[in-house]
Amino acid sequence: MEKLVALCKRRGFIFQSSEIYGGIGGFWDYGPLGVELKRNVKNAWWTDIVRKREDVVGLDCSIIMNPKVWEASGHVVNFNDPLIDCKKCKARFRADKVFMVVAADGENVLLQTGAEADDAEHAKEAAAAGANSKTRRRLEKHGDKLAWTVHRVDELPEGVTAHCPLCSGELTDARKFNMMFKTFVGAMEDSTAEAYLRPETAQGIFANYKNVLDTSRMKMPFGIAQIGKSFRNEINPRNYTFRSREFEQMELEFFCHPDSADEWYVYWRDARFKWYTDLGLTSSRLHLRDHEGRELAHYAKACADVEYDFPFGLAELEGIANRTNFDLTQHQEHSGKDLTYYDDQTKERFIPYVIEPSGGVDRTTLAILCEAYTEDEAPDEHGNPQQRVVMKFAPRLAPVKLAVFPLVKKEGMPEVARKVYDDAQAAGMAVFYDEKGAVGRRYRRQDEAGTPFCVTIDGETMENQTVTVRDRDNLTQQRIAADKVVQYVAERIV
């Protein structure tokens, strides 16, 4: 992960927000390459979910809505994480992410410590990694004989005390912490002016369900899709952009008759998993996990997660849920507006069920960065193998599609290169022009940016108007007509 984070900063994919002032936890900025990559992820989702479907329309809601929306949705009361503090060092943790780990060989306790991790298995690893070298040696020596007990600190058995993972100090009891960011609307900063930054885009869709239905002539089943910023005051933002306080979601609320909801749930669960494989996450790192009954929210009938095996562990990219008619029923009750649907064919009136595929733009972008990062060897200009870092993005997602190099800055080559560059730009392609340094070094720069095609204008171009096209992944070079470059690349980046 460290190598990827360093590359993302060095090459302008991702920066820490307000870095010149020391940054701010849980907020990230996307640089010139990152913004193109992220936009390509969003465009792929929008194209596949909205533009290519007759039964889905788009929406773009405001971030701040009437606070009653969040009362109806249950967020004001229920959108909580359990929070604990260390009484000694004052560090703050999510109670469900801190574990007490004990390793003992019979009566002999070798390790007893708090550890911060996503699950019990990773807590053991974190506890062992955080131990001093003497304890680590003893743990290794006792190996298979060790008995490990791991408990979440908010579920400790009687008599076991919780230790701070950082300083071993005493921890407070867990208390509820609402993750919605509060703000004030208008000039008065009192409770009547309080509002929230939305923690999900979904509720804006439910609040507009009737507007869309009345204006778009959609018939059940149909979906409303939205991409937009959401905000959560995460207690411990971590794992780079994975858990941020400001992030973007891609959410679809698909409305259907209650009798067809089970079928639509399976349809969307499988379609959404396939979407990620189509984006290039084809490796064995991608998983679809059905939730067990006890994991389901009280209003959900079924739920599955698309998970990716990040370097820091298996974690969720998207959840697909059958939310029943919970949200529309709540909004109907709280707003007093009729949100039922009348089917004029069957003469039936009902509150639709909702299937919700809800994905994260930043998490998908991070998974794509992790998947693309590759170290291999490529020959330099003398044919000698050299280590290279190459971002093997699917061409559809690559931030830059084409780089254009004149071999030398003379003999008319820059002029021809400029013409190829201008043609690509006029076609709306993300294209980069580079005439600085040895051509091998220019290739390396584009490999790190993940540019799938590099075109070089050389002496032969000046004789027969052909250029070389170099393929990022298999390093083959072929000659094609200079005026066919745009078409050649366009055919390969869909």
Name the residues that contact ligand GAP, by CB under 6 A: 200, 202, 232, 234, 243-244, 247, 249, 251, 316-319, 356, 358-360, 362-363
Task: Give least dist CB 76 to ligand GAP, A.
Answer: 16
Q: Based on CB atoms, which residue is closest to ligand GAP, 364 or 468?
A: 364
Q: Based on CB atoms, which residue is closest to ligand GAP, 156 or 297?
A: 297
Task: Give least dist CB 380 to ligand GAP, A.
Answer: 40
Q: Based on CB atoms, which residue is closest to ligand GAP, 113 or 358?
A: 358
Task: Give least dist CB 19 to ligand GAP, A.
Answer: 19
Q: Based on CB atoms, which residue is closest to ligand GAP, 212 or 250?
A: 250
Task: Give least dist CB 179 to ligand GAP, A.
Answer: 9
Q: Based on CB atoms, which residue is closest to ligand GAP, 246 or 434?
A: 246
- By residue count, the chain amounts to 494
Q: Based on CB atoms, which residue is closest to ligand GAP, 362 or 458?
A: 362
C-alpha distances out from residue 151 to 92, 158, 276, 473, Å: 18, 12, 34, 46
Main-chain phi, psi angles of 30, to 5 degrees: -105, 125
Task: Give least dist CB 17 to ligand GAP, A.
Answer: 14
Q: Rounded to whole angstroms, how far apart are CA atoms 441 and 33? A: 19
Partnered with residue 28 across adjacent β-strands are 16
Task: Give least dist CB 291 to ligand GAP, A.
Answer: 11
Q: Based on CB atoms, which residue is closest to ligand GAP, 324 or 468?
A: 324
Q: Based on CB atoms, which residue is closest to ligand GAP, 290 or 377?
A: 290
Task: Give least dist CB 237 to ligand GAP, A.
Answer: 7
Partnered with residue 102 across adjacent β-strands are 112, 149
Which residue has the closest beta carbon to ligand GAP? Answer: 360
Task: Give least dist CB 361 to ligand GAP, A.
Answer: 8
Q: Based on CB atoms, which residue is closest to ligand GAP, 330 or 358?
A: 358
Task: Give least dist CB 70 to ligand GAP, A.
Answer: 13
